[in-house]
Amino acid sequence: MRYALVHGRRSGRGGAAAVGEAATGALRAAGHDVVQVTAGTMEQARAASAALVADGVDVLVVAGGDGLVSLGADVCAGTGTTLGILPAGTGNDNARSLGLPTDPARCVEVLLEGRTRTVDTLLLPDLERRVLGSVCTALEARINARANRLPRRLGAASYTLSALVEIALLRRQPPLRYRLTVDGRPRELEALVVVAASMPFFGGGLPIAPEADPADGALDLVLVHPVIPGAALGVLRALRAGRHTGHPAVEVHRAREVTVEGPDDVVAHGDGEPLGSLPLTVRVDAASLRVVVPG
């Protein structure tokens, strides 16, 4: 079996570099051919991953956070290469959604002993790329952007802290107005949250779409209508417990495609990484990716 392992330079225990080194050693000890690549930037990681997939590598293993996992999914989708995941980031939401262990060492065991599962990806035709787990296009996109600026040592708590700040700022901001086109049907609304999700988790373990199935050929569109800041804190608490879908301000719809038009200053985020300004179309690309999951 031909493996390629791509990781960043972050060192230290649990860092992507250390995880990548350990996984490379374990795969080689099991008799596999492994190419190891250390990428200093996401652009370098994309170029290296694309070249390896074009060369016909059997499994592309990415060691890093959700952004790198999303990059790997984008490169592998629609090809003969399977994606392997070693979670070594802040949130690790895609790994969590796929039932992978939180311990990277145990994920190496999954690479060696797991099974291949075919899942959907989220195609962004305007950007000619895909993401794996979720696309955020409202207040939660601003929360993501703020969380990305916080120190990495905060880990998954960075999303909660950023959410508290953005919720406090609601007192001084008018509601955000959006135009959605959901499977061809237009709708205008004010919203705090507009998330298109193929997988349950985002934001460092928050079950934004608890019923989402990454292999059902549909996305879960989660909408949260404007509420006062105090009520927004209640929605956040319910979200952390996975009980928010019963809140009167929350809607969840199944769809195959959604186009989101909204404020120019909202930068959409995919799997925690900035994508670009609205409008943006998100379309399910069903059964487009093979990924290694626990057996």
Least confidently predicted of 121-135, 148-162, 258-272? 148-162
- Tens of pLDDT, residues 218-274: 999 999 998 887 788 888 888 888 889 999 999 999 999 999 999 888 889 999 899
Mean pLDDT across the chain: 90
Query: What integer pLDDT is reported at residue 264 of this predicted model?
Result: 83
pLDDT greater than 80 at residue 97: yes
DSSP string, 95-148: HHHTT--SSHHHHHHHHHH-EEEEEEEEEETTTTEEESSEEE-SHHHHHHHHHH
Tell me the domains of the chain and their CATH numbers: 2-117 (3.40.50.10330), 134-288 (2.60.200.40)
- What's the Cα-to-Cα distance from 256 to each of 85, 182, 253, rounded to whole Å? 26, 8, 10
- CA neighbours closer than 13 Å in the CB half-sphere of residue 192: 23
Q: Above pLDDT 70, what percent of the chain?
A: 96
**How many whole angstroms separate alpha carbon 278 and alpha carbon 265?**
8
pLDDT greater than 50 at residue 57: yes
Least confidently predicted of 85-89, 195-199, 210-214? 85-89
**157 pLDDT tier (thresholds 50, 70, 90):** confident
**How many whole angstroms separate alpha carbon 129 and alpha carbon 11?**
29
User: What pTM does this model have?
Assistant: 0.90
**135 pLDDT tier (thresholds 50, 70, 90):** very high
Query: What integer pLDDT is reported at residue 148 of this predicted model?
Result: 78
Query: What integer pLDDT is reported at residue 203 of this predicted model?
Result: 85
DSSP code at position 167: H
Query: What integer pLDDT is reported at residue 294 of this predicted model?
Result: 96
Query: What integer pLDDT is reported at residue 10 of this predicted model?
Result: 62
Query: What integer pLDDT is reported at residue 73 of this predicted model?
Result: 98
In 3-state terms the chain splits into helix, strand, coil percentages (rounded to 5) of 35, 35, 30
- Tens of pLDDT, residues 6-53: 998 664 445 788 888 889 999 999 999 999 999 989 999 999 999 999
pLDDT greater than 90 at residue 164: no
